[in-house]
Amino acid sequence: MQKLTLLGATGSIGASTLDVIQRHPERFSLWAVSAHRQLERLAEIITKYQPAVAVVADAAGADRLATLLAGVSHACLIRHGAEALCEIASAPQVDTVMAAIVGAAGLAPTLAAARAGKRVLLANKESLVMSGDILLEAVRSSGATLLPIDSEHNAVFQSLPDGFPHGLDGAGVRRILLTASGGPFRIAPLESLHAVTPEQAVAHPNWVMGRKISVDSATMMNKGLEVIEAHWLFGVGADRIDVVVHPQSVIHSMVEYADGSVIAQLGNPDMRTPIAHALAYPERIESGVASLDFMRLAGLCFEAPDLRRFPCLRLAYEALKAGGTASAILNAANEEAVAAFLDRRLGFTGIAHVVEACLDALGADAADCLDSVLAADARAREQATTLIAARMH
């Protein structure tokens, strides 16, 4: 029986994870869950899955959750705050941690799980983007296992030889091809992009996801973050990670080998596939995802990403090449800009402008300790906030 902590239980990845584990009650049990503010949803999850511990944002949330759970027979310990998140991620009772909090808030608990030697299922790509070196060092020194949930990285992982113990060169890999849907504005007139609304931006053509990652998909910052994520997960330079726009989202990514072979992973666009893969790895289990119906696929198309349309993808490549804390600056500026866009305080095309201005204004330092990463994150948020306020006038 694998005992799990599910960080971000009320989110989109959280829901898909719960759906997979309820199909296999003999294999998985939920020991702890966390959520930020959606307490009604969290109370439903606790009632159904009966975890021993739940963590919410603050004391008021904990009181409210206790009220919602009054009369529920089983006892769930309710805790709150960032420290408690790290504790449920590293507790000795837990084998596996699903890191599915969105944004930089996921870094500390993900790192705690890695340091405690857990099997870490990584959906929270932002933590690798911010501090890839530190997170991987924690994995190495504790003997933790890091398995990618992001569909592209899970596809690459599945297309590589088992464990690829000798690195990508030893495995004869020429390059990694990350596929991208191109999001909702792939062919929208360029001059219409400045007027895009949050509702239009979060309406992704193929995937149902949280609001932040949906906006990232619309700007293609998501693919940029994924390039950086691939760099850390697979130990490969930016020059060997290519992005291919593939609007159908059927091929989830590919690996090209020295002999010209290309190995891809295909399937319906449903996150339950990578989640089930990582939960059961190296075995295979039912995920609830339907068979891919080849007879109904109209065709598979491919094109190069347009960096004029999607400047965020260029900025992410530049941050990866710059190294150090540049990726942490990119990530933090983007989080602030996306939040402002969703709040209607910033236009859609303003997101890339704010991120680029932050990268230009703030020099990157070495990202060798958590303090310097967190300092870069804080400086970038301050800079972005100032820029966003200035753009409003």
Q: How far apart are CA 271 and CA 293, in angstroms?
A: 17
Judged by CB under 6 A, which of 4, 35, 144, 230 binds ligand NAD?
Answer: 35
Q: Which parts of 183-202 interact with Mg ion (CB under 5 A)? A: none
CB atoms within 10 A of CB 24: 16
Task: Give, in order, the Cα–Cα distances in Å from 103 to each of 166, 211, 237, 271.
Answer: 31, 11, 24, 18
Residues for the chain: how many in total?
393
Q: Which does 35 bind (CB under 5 to 8 A by kind): Mg ion, ligand NAD, none?
A: ligand NAD
334 or 372: CB nearest ligand NAD: 334
93: tokens are 């009772």
103 or 305: CB nearest ligand NAD: 103
Residue that the structure tokens 């990463």 belong to: 373
276 scored as a contact of ligand NAD (CB under 6 A): no
Compute the least distance from the CB of residue 101 to ligand NAD, in Å: 4
Judged by CB under 6 A, which of 90, 110, 124, 249 binds ligand NAD?
Answer: 124
Q: One symbol per residue from 150 to 189: x for binding ligand NAD (CB under 6 A), - otherwise; what is it? A: x---------------------------------------
Q: Per CB under 6 A, which region of 2-10, 132-140, 236-244, 307-315 contacts ligand NAD? A: 2-10
Q: How far apart are CA 390 and CA 334, in angstroms?
A: 16
Residue that the structure tokens 């970038």 belong to: 380
Judged by CB under 5 A, which of 126, 150, 335, 336 binds Mg ion?
Answer: 150
Decide if 341 contacts 350 (C-beta within 8 A).
Answer: yes
Q: Per CB under 6 A, which region of 34-42, 73-81, 128-136, 358-366 contacts ligand NAD? A: 34-42
**What DSSP assignment string belongs to 113-130?**
HHHTT-EEEE--HHHHHH
Judged by CB under 6 A, which of 51, 132, 183, 210 binds ligand NAD?
Answer: 210
370: tokens are 């958590």
Residue type, 179: T
Compute the least distance from the CB of residue 79 to ligand NAD, in Å: 13
Enumerate residues 6+ apart whose C-beta is below 8 A from 145.
118, 119, 120, 139
Judged by CB under 6 A, which of 4, 13, 155, 346 binds ligand NAD?
Answer: 13
Q: How far apart are CA 344 and CA 347, in angstroms?
A: 7
11 scored as a contact of ligand NAD (CB under 6 A): yes
35 or 94: CB nearest ligand NAD: 35
209 scored as a contact of ligand NAD (CB under 6 A): yes
48 or 194: CB nearest ligand NAD: 48
10 scored as a contact of ligand NAD (CB under 6 A): yes
Q: One symbol per residue from 85 to 104: x for binding ligand NAD (CB under 6 A), - otherwise; what is it? A: ---------------xxx--
Burial of 26: CB neighbours in 10 Å, binned 0-12, 13-18, 19+: exposed
207 scored as a contact of ligand NAD (CB under 6 A): yes
Residue type, 117: G
Which position's Cβ is nearest ligand NAD? 11
Enumerate residues 6+ apart whose C-beta is below 8 A from 245.
179, 180, 181, 182, 186, 302, 303, 304, 305
Compute the least distance from the CB of residue 186 to ligand NAD, in Å: 18
36 scored as a contact of ligand NAD (CB under 6 A): yes
Enumerate residues 6+ apart whose C-beta is below 8 A from 271.
12, 13, 16, 149, 151, 207
Query: What does R_g of the chain's alpha carbons equal in angstroms?
Result: 20
Q: Rule CB under 6 A: which residues touch ligand NAD?
A: 8-14, 35-36, 38, 100-102, 105, 123-126, 150, 207, 209-210, 212-213, 271
Report the interface residues with Mg ion, using CB under 5 A.
150-152
